[in-house]
Structure 1
């Protein structure tokens, strides 16, 4: 089965998607010239593709162009749904995936530095009894442009790695001091 059948699109729709993937700012007139359709027809197709969730806009930072750190963390957890709900609130987590295999959850974490990611892992993941196993990989570069949303909320807790938005509630002052100072 081809994408055309699964997604209920034709070759013109595919060409429009390809053009916009290469240049999201391409005008309807430029697209209409490339696909041999009128500008209003292209506009209607773009609206249709957006309604089918085949065209989407992502606002964020280009990971491979900035000095920010990104980690892929594979987790083996007891209750995926419970952590899914908790992680939804976390500003460090770029995305969370339910997966198959040895691990059943994958999260992507973004932070200004590796130390912050390590503190997040230690304070939020390793202490969570619902998490059975953790495997961390730091992402060094990406082949294609990879846009990730930035949350500036993480600056509110001074590299604490957890607390303000955590599903478990904020850390108390003593816990925060121990986490930041190691004493």
Structure 2
């Protein structure tokens, strides 16, 4: 499925929901001079298309957590996606343009864990040609994202990566190894 086109009514409805997720369909309908069933049908359509989603998370602006941005120049960007999916320290990853081609967000209650993850998965990796790591020291606005608190039980090391996480257990994808040609 491609990108979804939004008309001015869609944008207005979504704006109200984003500003106040608990706003009623009736209230939105009154504000935009449409009926509640019309507003309800549009909201249902947004949800079915995956355009409007609801997410519970931690407000990084208020939590005592460390978040880092790691910019990477990877030989093959598709090799980062399995790590982004399975490594519990990685909040998300993005393909970007410019001198780096991947941006990764990582979080933990301990900064030293993040250093070990970055060193093991990226700095020691021959598939990564360039790396930059920046600690986020403050947020201008609330920044709410889910976090896997199972990371508290993991003890990252330079030998085992995260250790017991699903990603590090799969040694084939862990080091971005390319399949051997026979």
Matches within 5 A, 1:41-56: 41-56=38-53
- Change in Cα spacing, 1:124 to 1:20, as seen in structure 2 (3 Å) is same
**Residue 168 of structure 1: CA displacement?**
4.2
Matches within 5 A, 1:75-154: 75-154=72-151
- Change in Cα spacing, 1:166 to 1:105, as seen in structure 2 (3 Å) is farther
**Residue 163 of structure 1: CA displacement?**
1.9
Matches within 5 A, 1:57-68: 57-68=54-65
Separation in 2, partners of 1:52, 1:126: 39
Greater share of residues in helix: 1
Separation in 2, partners of 1:18, 1:43: 15
Q: Match for residue 163 of structure 1?
A: 163
**Residue 18 of structure 1: CA displacement?**
0.6
Q: What is the TM-score normalised by the length of structure 2?
A: 0.81
Q: Match for residue 176 of structure 2?
A: none
Separation in 2, partners of 1:94, 1:159: 16
**Residue 45 of structure 1: CA displacement?**
0.9
Number of residue pairs matched by the alignment: 166
Question: Do 1:72 and 1:106's aligned partners in 2 also have CA atoms closer than 8 Å?
Answer: yes
**Residue 11 of structure 1: CA displacement?**
1.9
C-alpha distance after superposition, 1:94-120 (max 9, x if no partner): 101111221111100011122221121
C-alpha distance after superposition, 1:111-131 (max 9, x if no partner): 112222112112222222211
Separation in 2, partners of 1:45, 1:130: 45
Separation in 2, partners of 1:55, 1:157: 33
Q: What is the TM-score normalised by the length of structure 1?
A: 0.81
Q: Secondary structure of the residue that 2:167 maps to in structure 1?
A: coil
Question: Do 2:88 and 2:148's aligned partners in 1 also have CA atoms closer than 8 Å?
Answer: yes
Q: Match for residue 174 of structure 2?
A: none
1:30 and 2:33 are equivalent in the alignment? no
Note the aligned Cα RMSD (angstroms). Answer: 2.1
Runs of at least 5 residues in structure 2 that lack an aligned partner in the other structure: 172-182
- Change in Cα spacing, 1:87 to 1:54, as seen in structure 2 (3 Å) is closer
